[in-house]
Each structure stands twice: as C-alpha cells, then as structure tokens.
Amino acid sequence: MMKFGNLVVAGIVTGSIYAVFAVCVAVWYRVSNILNLAVGDFAMTGALGVDYLSRVENWPLPLSILATLAAVAAFGYCYDRVVLSLAQDRLRRHEGIVVTFFFTFALSFFIEGIAQILFGTNVHAAPALWPGNSLNLGGGLNIVRAGILVLACAVISGGMFALYIRYTLSGKAIEASGENYLGARIVGIDTRRYRRSIFVITALLAAIFGIVESPITGYTYISGAVISLTGFIAAAYGGFRHPARALVAGLAIGVLEALLGGYVSAEYGDTVMYAILAALVLARPRAMGFESAVSN
C-alpha cells in the first residue's frame, strides 16, 4: 500500500510536468492551429543552461536563471518573428500550418544540435532550488522537494491561465482566435501577435519547468524530444484544443507510467504504457478527442 501511494505521488509529480507541456501544446494549437514540437527542448535548454552558467561559468544561481530565461524568451521571439512569420504569414493558411509544423520540428533538432555543442552529452541538472531530503507526508509517503515546487508551478501557471481566459478580454480573444480565425480578424484581433506571445510564453514556461524539475530526473541534450512527445500525446488525448482535458491526460499518463514502472517492469514500463495509450486511441478515438483534432 505504501509502495502504491509513493508511486502515485511520484506519478503526479511527473504527470504534472506532462500536463504543463500538454497545456502549452494545446494552448498554442488553439491560437495558431500549429503543433509545437519544440516545447520540450525549451525545457532542456532551461535546465542545462542554468546548470552551465552556474556550474561551469560560476555565475550566481539567480543570475543564471534570469539569463537563461531571457535567452529563451529572446530566442523564441526572434524565431517567431523571422522563421514562423516567413513560413506562415506569406502563405495561404493551410499551407502555412503544414509548413510551420515542420519548422517547429526542425527547431527541435536545431536546439538539440546547439545544446550538444554547448552542454555536451552528459546528464546534468540545474541546482536544486530547494535542497534537502524528501519530505515525509506521513504514513510512509514521501515526496521530493523539487516535486512540490513542480506541483506549485503547475497549479500557479494553470490557475493564472484559467483566470486570464475567463476574466479578460484578451484571454477571450485568444479563445476566439482558436475558434474562428476569420471571425477573430474581423473584430480586430491580431492573431499573429497572439501566436507570437503565446509561443514565447510557452517557451518560458517550459524553461521554468525544466529548471525546477531537472534535479529529479536529470537532463541530457536529447531529453527535450521525450518531453515533447509525452506532452504531445497528452495534448492529443485532449483533442489538442482543450487545455483542461490535456491537463488531466498529462496527470493520468504520469501516474500510469509510475505504476507500470513500479509494478510491471522498470525496463518495459514505458513500452507497455505506449501500448495501452495506442490501444485506447484505436478503441475509442472519438471519446479520446482525436475526432476534433481532425475535423477542425
């Protein structure tokens, strides 16, 4: 029973990361109709960037974090301004979506290449922001301190976003852009500006989560792809357009992964999990939200 509880706690921690990445993918998809496959690479950049600056260059930790986040934001902004604008704004909308999708894929490889040169191929992690042993939750349940930070970040960022969508006009404008592109343009919503700001914000959010979470798992230059993939799958279960469903799916995948790893096989846990996920999609595509991704 204790084992089960601990696995669930660990699963919720990893799941909340998947959830956040799934929400990032889903939100940007809502605005731009494009799937961002590079979101995990921003997390890796955050974690390894902070590690590099603080460990190799001996910068103080807060400065390393700020510098890394500033670099990620600046890069995301320039990437959208130059590459995504070229790829999308000059083309017809449908062509643009397909082309841009591949550009985010290319971006992922590009970031990995740079990261390999800058950070090497070893496993690193940003310094723990809240160092110390795991906390005892009572009854034999333990949670790593970084896990609490991850959960806190997930709740804060998710909550802020939900409030933003619900109570502000620009939040509703984001929803409107996703609902009806032409209808959004007609009332004067600058859909490109929203695409850009959400791209930068999700990149920043991903970097922050990478920094906070990396002490738990450790990152290498290719960790981003796995994170993107899992976030992407969770987002797919939410039909790509529903951040709330993507969030639940992310949490569920995290817990499932932890339980399979603990009870079935540490080595083949992931394989079994992907098999289960694939089976679910094949059995109930509509209930899993895949329908809406295609028909919209």
Partner 1 sequence: MSGPGPGTALGVTGMSVSYGNLVAVHDATFSIGAGESVAIVGPNGNGKSSLLMGIVGLARRRGEVTIFGSPAPAGDVMWTARRGLTLVPERRQLYPNLSAADNVVLGCYSWTRSARKARRSDAYGRALDLFPDLRSHLRQAAGTLSGGQQQMVAIARGLAADPKILAVDEPCLGLAEAVSKRVYEALARVHEAGTTLIVVEEAPKRALLICDRRVEVRNGVVRAPAGGARP
User: Which residues contact partner 1 by CB under 8 A?
Assistant: 167-170, 172-173, 175-176, 179-180, 182-190
CA 277 to chain CA centroid, nearest Å? 19
Task: Name which of 70 and 163 has its Cβ closer to partner 1.
Answer: 163
Q: Determine the Cα–Cα distance for residues 41 and 179; give it in Å rounded to an integer.
A: 28
For residue 82, the minimal CB distance to partner 1 (Å) is 20
For residue 233, the minimal CB distance to partner 1 (Å) is 23
For residue 128, the minimal CB distance to partner 1 (Å) is 40
For residue 95, the minimal CB distance to partner 1 (Å) is 13
- Those residues whose C-beta lies under 8 Å from the C-beta of residue 75, and which sit 6 or more positions away, are 203
224-244 burial by CB neighbour count: b if 16+ within 10 A, else e? Answer: bbebbebbbbbbbbbbbbbbe
Task: Name which of 48 and 184 has its Cβ closer to partner 1.
Answer: 184
Q: CA separation (Å) from 173 to 71, 169, 179, 198, 262? A: 28, 6, 10, 12, 44
Q: Determine the Cα–Cα distance for residues 206 and 107; give it in Å rounded to an integer.
A: 15
Task: Name which of 23 and 255 has its Cβ closer to partner 1.
Answer: 23
DSSP string covering 106-151:
HHHHHHHHHHHHHH-SS-B-PPPSS-SSPEEEETTEEE-HHHHHHH
User: CA dihedral defined by 235, 199, 244, 237, rounded to 10 degrees?
Assistant: -10
Task: Name which of 103 and 161 has its Cβ closer to partner 1.
Answer: 161
Task: Name which of 144 and 235 has its Cβ closer to partner 1.
Answer: 235
For residue 201, the minimal CB distance to partner 1 (Å) is 17
Q: Determine the Cα–Cα distance for residues 84 and 196; give it in Å rounded to an integer.
A: 9
For residue 85, the minimal CB distance to partner 1 (Å) is 14
Task: Name which of 91 and 114 has its Cβ closer to partner 1.
Answer: 91
For residue 178, the minimal CB distance to partner 1 (Å) is 8
For residue 182, the minimal CB distance to partner 1 (Å) is 5
Q: CA separation (Å) from 29 to 24, 34, 36, 113? A: 8, 5, 8, 25
Tokens of 155: 């709740």
| Inter-residue contact 143 to 137 (CB < 8 Å) | yes
Task: Name which of 37 and 173 has its Cβ closer to partner 1.
Answer: 173
Task: Name which of 63 and 186 has its Cβ closer to partner 1.
Answer: 186
Collapsing DSSP to helix, strand or coil, 276 comes out as helix
